[in-house]
Structure 1
Amino acid sequence: MADQSEALACEPRNAILDAAALCFMERGFNATSIDDIARRLSATKGMVYHYFGSKAELFFEIHHRAMDALFAEVEPVAEQSLPAPQRFTEMARRYVRTLIETQPYQRAVSEAVQMVLRNSTTEDQRSQLTRLQERRNRCEALFMTVLEEGMAEGTMCALRPRVSIKPVFGAMNSVINWYHPRDGETEEEIQALVDEVVGVALRGIIKGS
């Protein structure tokens, strides 16, 4: 992996976004300034502003990239012809794994969204927020479609699927708040963690689980 100075030289937008996501995760959205992001990069505030006009613009780009990562993993599985329980489980595994791998981006979204909602007053910001909400809803809808297919087949169960899906996402999304990478953590350990989270999250909707 390229070090920070090399990343800043080769892919400055990505380096700035990575730094901003880490700052938002550690300090919170409101407590983070452009100066904080520049200091983490060992760069100038002017360089950050050269690529991003405001902290809100950084937030929106971080949110879109967080959602891009989730869709890239989940959407292809949703389109496969596997039985609904297998498809839903694999989608959930990929979803949780992506949350772990992009944790700063996902945490920045989770912690900042309400703050941005309260503070956004421009038409452009309101439009951006509408798009972001639509993308979150579309991601949930991918899981909903598979759940409803499983219910029709008799392999998955939910009294009210639109209610049942909420605690599923609550359990999966919780990983971004309590997961902490450990030195020497192996691929097998991470996968075991993913499987445990998914097993708990899906226990009530997959028959025989």
Structure 2
Amino acid sequence: MPEQSEALLTDPRDAILDAAALCFMERGFNATSIDDIARRLSATKGMVYHYFDSKAQLFFEIHHRAMDALFEELEPVVGSDLPAPERFTEMARCYVRTLIRTQPYQRTVSEAVQMLLRSSTTEAQRAQLERLQERRKRCEGLFLTVLEEGIANGTMRAARPKMSIKPVFGAMNSVINWYQPRDSETPAQRQGVVDEVVLVALRGVMKNS
């Protein structure tokens, strides 16, 4: 067996979650086994089970961590005193930048949404997925509150804000499906991707676009 990674030795829970997120992104939840995750880590299946009781537990913890990463970046901006359009734009930049940085984790969140839509879960899993989806709704609500503030003071536009926010999120979330990191990519180039996605996503709600 190849030598185990330093990450597995120093922070095994995080290393296992990272490996599981990559496996779920590449193969999907149903097609991924604990053996697949262990092989990616050059570890034993027993080591994975030492920290996590099941594949489902891994899946749900990855979902929580993905949402934690988004809230950690968004909440300071939401609480700032920036005018609504600037605040909304900066929130969008933080959101897309975090999607890119945590792409395997965010793809797991995306799969959870599809699992709910397909009803391809057990009753217990579905109940937990529905609770997790409340966090997604709360994230969307942060953006909606700022959009409604901007509409109220005349600096943003949307005839039906609760509907308009959906394509905004659709455009931003799309980055997790098509973005491909490159070894040669510079921080400036990555920021360029973020800015372009945000420009397109927010065009319909910004008055000066």
Per the normalisation by structure 1, the TM-score is: 0.94
- Distance of 1:181 and 1:118 partners within structure 2: 31
Determine the structure 2 residue equivalent to 1:163: 163
Q: What CA distance in whole angstroms lies between the structure 1 residues aligned with 2:112 and 2:71?
A: 21
Deviation at 1:129, TM superposition (A): 1.9
Higher mean C-alpha deviation, range 184-193 or range 3-12 = 3-12
1:11 corresponding residue in structure 2: 11
In the alignment, structure 1 residue 50 sits paired with structure 2 residue 50: yes
Q: Secondary structure at the match of 2:184?
A: coil
Which letter does structure 2 place at the counterpart of 1:34? Answer: I
CA distance in 2, matches of 1:37, 1:145: 40
Match of 1:174 in 2: 174
Query: Does the residue aligned with 1:181 lie in a helix, a strand or coil?
Result: coil
CA distance in 2, matches of 1:108, 1:194: 21
Match of 1:118 in 2: 120
Shift of 1:127: 4.3
- Contact kept in structure 2, 1:93 and 1:195, CA below 8 Å: yes
Shift of 1:112: 4.0
Q: Write the letter of the residue equivalent to 1:47.
A: M
User: Which residue of structure 2 lines up, in the alignment, with residue 78 of structure 1?
Assistant: 78
Query: Number of aligned pairs?
Result: 205
Residues 1-209 of structure 1: pairs in structure 2 closer than 5 A: 5-115=5-115, 117-122=119-124, 125-209=125-209
> Residue type matched to 2:84 in 1?
A
1:146-184 superposed Cα distances (whole Å, 9 cap, x missing partner)? 000000110000010000000000000000000000121
AA at the equivalent of 2:150: G
Tell me how far apart the structure 2 counterparts of residues 20 and 207 of structure 1 sit (CA, whole Å): 42
- Would you say the 8 A contact 2:150–2:157 is kept in 1? yes
C-alpha displacement of 1:131: 2.4
CA separation in 1, counterparts of 2:85 and 2:113? 32
- Partner SS state of residue 119, structure 1: coil
- Write the distance in 2 (CA, Å) between the matches of 1:58 and 1:13: 10
Q: Indicate how the Cα distance of structure 1 residues 93 and 4 shifts in structure 2: closer, same or farther if over 3 A, else same.
A: farther
Structure 2, unpaired ranges of 5+: none
Cα RMSD after superposing both structures: 1.4
Question: 1:118 is paired with a residue of what secondary structure?
Answer: coil
Structure 1 segments of 4+ aligned residues over 4 angstroms from their partners: none
2: CA distance between counterparts of 1:131 and 1:71? 16
Q: Secondary structure at the match of 1:17?
A: helix
Cα offset, 1:4, TM superposition? 6.2
Q: Is residue 30–residue 115 contact of structure 1 (8 Å, CA) maintained in 2?
A: no
Amino-acid identity (%): 77
Letter matched to residue 122 of structure 2: S
Q: Write the distance in 2 (CA, Å) between the matches of 1:134 and 1:74.
A: 16
Residues 71 and 139 in structure 2, CA contact (< 8 A), matched pair in contact too: yes
The answer for unaligned runs of 5 or more in structure 1 is: none
